[in-house]
Structure 1
Amino acid sequence: MKKLFIIATFISLISCKESSDTSSKIITGDKEITLEEIWNGTFSPKRMNALNSMNGDFYSLLNSDENGNTTVDKYSYETLEKVETIVNSKDLKELNSFESYSFNNDETKLILGTNFNKIYRRSYTGTFYAYDIASKKLSLIGEDIQEPIFSPDNQKVAFAKNNNLFIKDFSKNKLTQITKDGKKNSIINGITDWVYEEEFGFVRAFEWSKDSKYLAFLRFDETNVPTFSMDIVGKELYPNQQVFKYPKAGEENAKVTLHTYNVDNSKTAKISLGDYEYIPRIKWSNTPAVLVATTLNRQQNNLKLHKVNALRTSSSILLNETDKAYIDIHDNLTFLNDNSFIWTSEKDGYNHIYHYDFNGKLINQITKGNWEVTNYYGFNSSKKTIYYQSVENGSINRGVYSINLDGSNKNLLSNEEGQNSAAFSTNLNYFINTYSSATTAPVYDLYTAEGNKIKNIVNNVDLEEELSTYKMSPKEFSTIEINGNDLNMWMIKPADFDPNKEYPMLMFQYSGPGSQQVANRWNGANDYWHNMLAQKGVIVVCVDGRGTGFKGADFKKSTYLNLVKYETEDQIAAAKKLAERSYIDENNIGIWGWSFGGHMSTNALLKGNDVFSMAIAVAPVTSWRFYDTVYTERFLRTPQENPAGYDENSPINYPEKLKGKYLLVHGTGDDNVHVQNTYRMINSLIDANKQFDMFIVPDRAHGIRKGSTMRLNLFTKMTNFVEENLINTTTEIKG
């Protein structure tokens, strides 16, 4: 694709030792980026609506018109033309509009959802209807329910309400309540608790068997899990209190058990899985009565796949993986027609694809190399071909690939550089590739499964042209050698950069295990803010240190048992090394981050008080003792096992080290990283008689977004802090 930016030529990936600074000026427009433009959507690229791949070579989209009517429309992958409108809300007397839809297996029925009320990050209740496409009949499933799903025989819908499970049989017009012991903050049936939803990434904890005769579900007994509460100020005279079960590191988890419900005899059986702490996944195999359940021990370094026979209520071990550190949970378990299965694992040091038979015997390792598979898309049985995404072309890039089941005939199907992700048709004949890079705004193209581009669907040439009128600088990608590792880095310099001047430097990072901030992808809101700061005279830098992802298991897990220790050391060392450059003002170096990154920026300011002169910490963890079991213990084990790992890198324990300027930001409605973290940091700083700034935002959750002007207000505060404590304190000309 033709680039309309002159700055496009600046993408490279070379070592800092080999890179040289240049005094040549970047040719850009003269318009200044404003905070209002960043947060009012001026720079938002055009995107495709999230599509649902259908049977055959078709997909569907949820669309709406200017009159507020919503439709589910069917499109052809081959032509990208609309084939038909499956349902239009204007034709539904009982439902003025709907906000979600899902098909049954043979796409003869739909579940339409509306009136959603958010619970946590992924969970919500709503009103749901079943819609018969042929008869155009609409039937109410339930109000204030969760996660309705059709049975494979299309006769029934299972759903959760008030912590219990129900089945509605439309053929008999009968509603059956499967469980009756559900109770808030005590027993949950079929829906995950807070920590499973947040850390294992799923909400619906019930699944139909392939023959519709069984419903497998998880039961959470939260009775002994400690309770956390938050005051929600709202607009009433008295605040409301949000009370929920939240297991902090070292505390008791919910007791989770696996059960199967037999539809024919209405009996529920509890399945024994031996010793375990977590059941993070359940999935039915292609044998109707055989389920595969995943268990983890509390240290999360011993994973088992259990083959469960629902008819006999028995189980056996299908696969057992162990690791010296921890094992990540994924959704890549895929059963083939013969019930052999695809599995991804880091067991050879990099995340790769494996093929096993249904007795757990390894057939072959399909992908190999010192690179990571980052997504598994599916298996085409007729072509014996697997489709996946990986970082084979460099850890800051993503490519879409195909490979034969036996590991032969590997092909790159997408662009060589930048970020490529695929949305495949159900039969894997076509895919829509989403591509972007640091210099190319998102482009959506239709490809055949062989990697032949058919046509462009959406591009953002207009946005690129508009941005060319703004004063902007490119991200200069490189690597920097720190503590014996080549770390990925990007740098943004002012458009009128002069190597004979000194500039303050602001470092940005997240640094959490397996994360990545240095990536060859299109701008997000933070990138525009960083560029705005660059044009005010700041050099902005991001370094992905030890513990970040996509460079192998050893690199990612090097921070095990010492979370934030080595990550902080890398940021401090990187700042010191960069400060040796003539154009960096070594006396004016700042750092900022959000969540894990807020912990990092706080730690860097305190432990690197001879390097960093200011820091901004948004929604920071300040002690891992305050965070949840699943995430924290995965990397640190429990506080009882590893107290030093918790306390030696918690800034509440050494507030006296604060020398620079410090801004703390937190929402009081944060159910994830509780404002308790910031309150304890404030008290520690007060006890040490240290001055600091803070911005406590009532009722906002972890993303601090609620309200049309919230982000604008927050980033105005942060911009002012950077200007006052970094930009206005630097020496402009190097003496």
Structure 2
Amino acid sequence: MTAGAVLALSVPAVAASTTKPVATANAPSSQPPIAERYRKADAFLRQNLAKLIVDADLQPAFTDDGKGLLYLKGKAGQRAVRFIDLATRQDRVLTDDAALAAKLSAALGKPVAADGLWLNRLGFDTAGDVLSFDAQGKRWSLSAKGELSETHEAEWNPALSPDGRFEIVARDFNLYARELKTSREVALTTDGAREQPYGRGIPQLADILKAGKEEPDMPVSVRWSPDGSKILTWRLDTRGVERLSITQQNPGGLYPRSFAYVYPLAGAKVLPQATRLVIDVEQAFKDGKAKPVALQIPSESLLYPADPDLGWIGDRVRVQWTERGYGQLVVYSADPKTGAATIVAREAVKPIVTVTSTQIQPQPELGGELVISERSGWAQLYLVKPDAPDGGAALTSGRWEVLSIEHIDPAAKSLVLTGVGRETDRNPYDRALYRTGLDGATPRLLTPEPLDHDTRVSPDGRWFVDAMSSPTQPTRTVLRDAADGKIVAELGRADASALLAAGFTPPEPFQGLAADGKTPLYGMIFRPAGYDPKRRYPVIDNVYTGPTTTQVPTEWSESVLAGGNSVAQIGAIVVMIDGRGTSRRGQAFRLPAYQNLGEVGVDDHIAMIKQMAEKHPEMDATRVGVYGGSAGGYDAARFVLRRPEFFKVAVASSGNHDLRLDKAWWPEVSMGLADEATWERNSNMSVAANLQGKLLLVHGDIDDNVPVTESLRLAQALIKAGRDVDLVILPNTTHAVGQPFFHKKLRDYFTRNLLDEAPPPLTTATAPVSAPVSR
């Protein structure tokens, strides 16, 4: 059996083509040997490409007091850690990669390479002139004298009262309060049980595997009132909830180990429930017993193994409640003494509240809640006050989208926000920064250049760092005045000369039309090094149809570092496309995905690939493959099953092939409370008999996001339908399957079945890769 796979239904190798092109002046050049192309694919993996780029990401970080800005500048291994005093604009070097690597090597007792040094969470104490950062899995401080020391940050302890008098202890599914000064304890609850614990959330699979038991130790789930007298907590109810099971075949010992765990599924009839309560701890110590107050807030279905929202605004409870199926989001304000609750804000957009385009943020200084809502058909900003929870004053308007609120100045009654699609001189996905007021006046554009703007606003709202770029224009990073957007300093410009010297072919943005022939769509084309327009290249679609996000990068660094650059090196053209059903272009653009994840996007992708091939005849639209991970894995399998005449080869990794078997929040964001017929229609298992081409399923055996049973059941459906299937289960692998073996299998599958060549043998020289981001 091939190393790395516990189960594999093998594909017979296809012999490499022996036909050689005739060498003429107009003939295409010969491709490098496949082994050389694989080496180039390794070299063009994200973490390796990043080493060839200078100053694309300066990692800017404002100091907590807003007085200064930290950033990194220079080539990897030679970067300087710089600090700007925002009052004087003095820019100085604090240290550099070489000095830090030497100090870290001495502190750790082992070599630390300067060119492999990753610094994160940069911080600077302006009073003490001390730099802080994360490196080598630890937190460090560097004094002005150059002394390096490991630091241990005090972790926030939710169990400890703000004044340090009390601590909440969870024991035997109940809660106890302990007075730290006297060690006296009082029971706050007494009727807790395994299926109905107090202050204990649902353990995630990763925690269960780490602990080796189904009931791992977990932090107590409480929130103290600001005055330290009361706690807000909740009670979990898992009665009637069916559990998933998983077997870890390779735990490190002789025997496999199996666990049953709670994972809220979209197809479950009963989900875990959460009910909230308040307990007056101070009064409990006076009386010798507690009197929990049940809040008059409906029980909430938990759509993911995470705690429900718990919060305080002053002396009142403030929580956000989500209705299953996303029919509404409701914000309650509750009296902790009586439990009486009132609705202060509510979102109930039809047919569904899309939570990835909706935000509700408490803003008591403004007298209510700031809400990003799609009620107009576009994500706009409103100020909703308690006397009209379903209404609110519109602070922005128009056919564009507010993505996020970056800064609020209650005194000046102004806000800084990020939006897309408002400016007509740029790509509708390009981010821009705006300043606006509470009067609904036209927002002021702070980033006038027709580019994508990745911004960070200082804590005091006076400044922001702007990394501006496009897929074809390298990043320029500047410091700007947040009052008017004026550039006050240039921090750096990306240098890609080493990347281009390595033979890198820059990606090409592409604009075309959807399958309806009228809706503008956007995509990206990735070509191999040594690309020859006289050749004919197969096409591989890197798919993720959303609908909770977009796929095609708009910034330069993400375009350059995209995984399609690596896959293309085998001798193919890779494309990315945002079809209808994806986000950031209004509700109507995304609604084709509603209860229709199995069909949305597929015909738009076909239409765009055909348009690309018409413009670029070197793209062979008769040889098209597709790959994707997670929801993209579902898409990849769906494309080859629903349009087998067009998509011939697919690699689907970590796919949620039956949405009912996925965690409830993700499918229900688009599917709502679908009926069984709708769920079945959207299941890949229901169309397994359509398979005509080649399909490779890849899944980690301990996937903690999408259960491995999804790929196993699709394989079973294909086998029952009399269809071929290739299946690789990666041992001890979670949702993130991006490891060297996976990349080799993906390349091999397209090399055999789309390029009609024999792949090179597996070697140990394959570079390690970073894990992909999980949805």
1:690 Cα shift? 2.4
Contact 1:418 1:438 in 2 (8 A): no
Aligned to 2:225: 209
Contact 1:248 1:627 in 2 (8 A): yes
Q: How many residue pairs align between the two structures?
A: 643
Residues 670, 304 of structure 1: CA spacing in aligned structure 2 closer, same or farther, 3 A cutoff? same
2:436 match: secondary structure: strand
Q: Percent identity?
A: 22
Superposition pairs for residues 557-706 of structure 1, below 5 Å? Answer: 557-576=591-610, 578=612, 582-638=617-673, 641-705=674-738
1:187 match: secondary structure: coil
Match of 1:542 among 576, 587, 597: 576
Contact 1:399 1:416 in 2 (8 A): no
The one-character-per-residue Cα deviations of 1:146-190 (angstroms, maximum 9, x if unpaired) are 864876667777798997767787788888885677777753616
Match of 1:510 among 528, 544, 548: 544
Contact 2:46 2:562 in 1 (8 A): no
Equivalent-residue separation in structure 2 for 1:176 and 1:441 (angstroms): 62
Equivalent-residue separation in structure 1 for 2:64 and 2:180 (angstroms): 24
Aligned to 1:17: none
Please state if 1:281 is matched with 2:278: no
Contact 1:291 1:307 in 2 (8 A): yes
1:235 Cα shift? 1.9
Equivalent-residue separation in structure 2 for 1:49 and 1:204 (angstroms): 34
Equivalent-residue separation in structure 2 for 1:434 and 1:149 (angstroms): 40
Residues 494, 39 of structure 1: CA spacing in aligned structure 2 closer, same or farther, 3 A cutoff? closer
Contact 1:549 1:556 in 2 (8 A): yes
Equivalent-residue separation in structure 2 for 1:318 and 1:584 (angstroms): 55
Contact 1:295 1:305 in 2 (8 A): yes
Contact 1:476 1:492 in 2 (8 A): no
Equivalent-residue separation in structure 2 for 1:38 and 1:174 (angstroms): 58
1:728 Cα shift? 3.3
The one-character-per-residue Cα deviations of 1:101-144 (angstroms, maximum 9, x if unpaired) are 999xxx99xxx999x99xxxxxxxx99xxxxxxxxxx99989xx
The one-character-per-residue Cα deviations of 1:406-454 (angstroms, maximum 9, x if unpaired) are 1225222236344323333332222333444324555554333222333
Aligned to 1:333: 361
1:264 match: secondary structure: helix
Superposition pairs for residues 15-34 of structure 1, below 5 Å? Answer: 33-34=40-41
Please state if 1:35 is matched with 2:42: yes
Aligned to 2:148: none
Please state if 1:218 is matched with 2:234: yes
Contact 1:636 1:642 in 2 (8 A): no
1:543 match: secondary structure: strand
Contact 2:177 2:281 in 1 (8 A): no
Equivalent-residue separation in structure 1 for 2:490 and 2:167 (angstroms): 39
Aligned to 1:230: 246
Q: TM-score, normalised by structure 1?
A: 0.75
Superposition pairs for residues 198-347 of structure 1, below 5 Å? Answer: 206-232=222-248, 233-251=250-268, 252-266=270-284, 267=290, 268-274=292-298, 277=301, 281-285=309-313, 288-329=314-355, 331-347=359-375
Contact 1:227 1:244 in 2 (8 A): yes
Equivalent-residue separation in structure 2 for 1:176 and 1:458 (angstroms): 59
2:505 match: secondary structure: coil
1:674 Cα shift? 0.9
State the AA in 2 paired with 1:419.
Answer: D
Match of 2:586 among 539, 552, 557: 552
Contact 1:147 1:159 in 2 (8 A): no
Equivalent-residue separation in structure 2 for 1:439 and 1:147 (angstroms): 47
The one-character-per-residue Cα deviations of 1:626-679 (angstroms, maximum 9, x if unpaired) are 1122322332244xx522222223222232221112211110110211110111
Higher strand share: 1
1:617 Cα shift? 0.5
Equivalent-residue separation in structure 2 for 1:157 and 1:417 (angstroms): 54
The gaps in structure 1 that reach 5 residues or longer are 1-22, 63-72, 86-94, 118-125, 128-137, 198-202, 706-710, 731-735
Equivalent-residue separation in structure 2 for 1:345 and 1:211 (angstroms): 33
> Is 235-244 or 667-676 further displaced after alignment?
235-244
Residues 543, 473 of structure 1: CA spacing in aligned structure 2 closer, same or farther, 3 A cutoff? same
Aligned to 1:728: 756
1:237 Cα shift? 0.7
> Is 612-621 or 681-690 further displaced after alignment?
681-690
Equivalent-residue separation in structure 2 for 1:140 and 1:164 (angstroms): 29
Aligned to 1:11: none
Aligned to 2:393: 364
Residues 148, 312 of structure 1: CA spacing in aligned structure 2 closer, same or farther, 3 A cutoff? closer
Residues 499, 113 of structure 1: CA spacing in aligned structure 2 closer, same or farther, 3 A cutoff? closer
Residues 334, 449 of structure 1: CA spacing in aligned structure 2 closer, same or farther, 3 A cutoff? farther
Superposition pairs for residues 43-192 of structure 1, below 5 Å? Answer: 43-44=50-51, 47=57, 51=61, 54-55=64-65, 57=67, 77-78=86-87, 79=89, 148=158, 187=197, 189=199, 191=201
Please state if 1:406 is matched with 2:439: yes
Q: TM-score, normalised by structure 2?
A: 0.72
Superposition pairs for residues 478-489 of structure 1, below 5 Å? Answer: 478-484=511-517, 485-489=519-523
The one-character-per-residue Cα deviations of 1:296-332 (angstroms, maximum 9, x if unpaired) are 3222112222221223321112223322222134554
Please state if 1:377 is matched with 2:406: yes
Contact 2:275 2:299 in 1 (8 A): no
